[in-house]
A and B are shown apart, each in its own frame.
Chain A
């Protein structure tokens, strides 16, 4: 019984290691994923620069993917992990990372304007004065009334 314990512990450790480390099947050409479900213009980096991505295009690690406006694509890793890209995002194909970490990697390239709730509530007062001044300017600084 005592001799079984270390064996069980080693087996459990190995099993844990196998579960913790993502196992990416790497093809002979070094690619680890492919581009699928492309909508719009999706660009893929090559040594010579960006080129248009095509359906089922194989992807090497360190390849940059760029979606243009109104474009979408999915990067499907050979282990089944699917990374969804929306419009105006970039993503660099990485290996040796867990799927949960990969799917959150696509980053927006264009900064979306902030909701600016504070600005919208505070600024109108200032804006009103400035805007009105601008609008009535054509009257030589006078309002409707000459009084």
Chain B
């Protein structure tokens, strides 16, 4: 009798030994209907990264992560993405096409080899890239991700935008469509929208020298607020819920924070004296004009000299429209480093203003972003949507950083894990943070439990 007890006790113990079960998290859709999810926006939504659109980056977009996580809370059917058939990618800037950036070794003008972004295929021709970008995938639609690289809020409303922007042209269901016309083809029950970055970023990336910041006010297609509302109303035709994300402070991204204003390191008094002698005449002239500008060099780190056409010199003295860059001004990542190192940019030659955001430009940009974010918050409230505070995440990243699952995120270029090699777009890990930020906001708004993604399971910048 007692042995029987012992044997059954041992058997019972054997059953207990199975894997300990945890059921702490139960996915739940809450008050939302995630059956058909659709996402609109710009390059971030599309999955553009490393300065180009390429397939694996599209697969690592926060939008696709959201779609996958929503499968646990009722999303059904496929999530169609207008994939581009290339891993080297196609990017575009001012009408020039290129392949993506990746980390590689480059030799600078001084013969020093270092690790930095290089083109995946520097020999790709404009023609072959144009074919890749121009190949229509519209027959694979309708698409659930209609993010269009380069698009501003106003562009999404523009009929015929397909002919202006090949990143839309390649998947537009009809050439005359506006991007928002794609929404009716999908009839989403839930949507996310993250738009507005380019309304100020395009201007900022041009160093404030080209493009215009979209005004806050104005009719749909002109002003930010009304355009945003027009997009939301289109979604709301079928969607019962959605989320809208605000815009991170553009001037905190690595594209603007990586290159210091004062990279000129002077170690010998001889160099200092020579430069100061060369600018003595400039300083004298400025004094004569009653202008406060002075150029001075000293041992140590020195601010670069830049071209600034806003300096009010008398006609004929335009050559003196130069000054040193201020500590609170931002030098763009696109500035050619070799020109600083070997072609005397910043010392003997002024840096073109297109590579610098000056105080006024920064103020205009920050003001625009603040205005857009107020409009986005108001729209979230008016249309009863989840408000996704991406700007708060960006602020955490730029003020000391934050950690998730052992990954340290900052706004540092490459090493900060969040931003890809172009200093603007996100890495897969950065996308995972964005996806989780969306999920937090959606869960809160709709009392849902969409499971989050694990950021450590995605890549940061890939090193050779």
Do A and B come together as binding partners?
no
Interface residues of A (CB under 8 A from B): none
